[in-house]
Amino acid sequence: MSFSKWIGGGLGWAFGGPIGGLVGFAVGAMLDRWQEPEVEQVRGQRRVHGTGPTTGGDLTMSLVVLVAALMKADGKVTRSELDEVRRFFVRQFGQQQAGQLLIILRDVLKRDIPLHQVCEQVRQNMPHAVRLQLVHYLIGLAHADGTVHPAERELLQRIGHGLGISDKDLGSLSAMFRKADPSTAYRILEVPTTATNDEVKKAYRRMAMKFHPDKVAQLGEEVQKAASEKFKKVQEAYETIQAERGMK
Break the chain into its structural domains and give their ranges: 1-165, 166-248
What distance in Å separates the CA atoms of residue 208 and residue 204, rounded to the nearest whole number? 6
| Rounded-to-integer distance, Cα 49 and Cα 89, Å | 26
Buried b / exposed e along 149-171 (16+ C-beta atoms within 10 A):
eeebeebbeebbebbebeeebbe
Phi and psi (nearest 5°) for 171?
Answer: -65, -40
Quick check: helix, strand or coil at residue 50?
coil
CB neighbours of residue 88 within 10 Å: 18
Neighbours of 112 (CB within 10 A): 7
Return d(Cα 60, Cα 80) in angstroms, integer. 22
Q: What is the pLDDT of residue 231?
A: 95
Is the Cβ–Cβ distance between 131 and 49 less than 8 Å?
no
Check residue 97 and give its pLDDT. Answer: 85
CA distance 201 to 207: 10
User: What is the model's pLDDT at position 7?
Assistant: 53
In order along its 248 residues, the chain shows pLDDT tens digits of 444 444 544 567 888 899 999 988 777 766 655 544 444 444 444 344 445 688 888 999 999 999 999 999 878 888 888 999 999 999 888 888 888 899 999 999 999 999 999 999 999 999 999 999 999 999 999 988 778 888 899 999 999 999 999 999 999 999 999 988 889 999 999 999 999 999 999 999 999 999 999 999 888 888 899 899 999 999 999 999 999 998 87
pLDDT at 33: 57
CATH number assigned to the domain covering 166-248: 1.10.287
100 CA to centre of own chain: 17
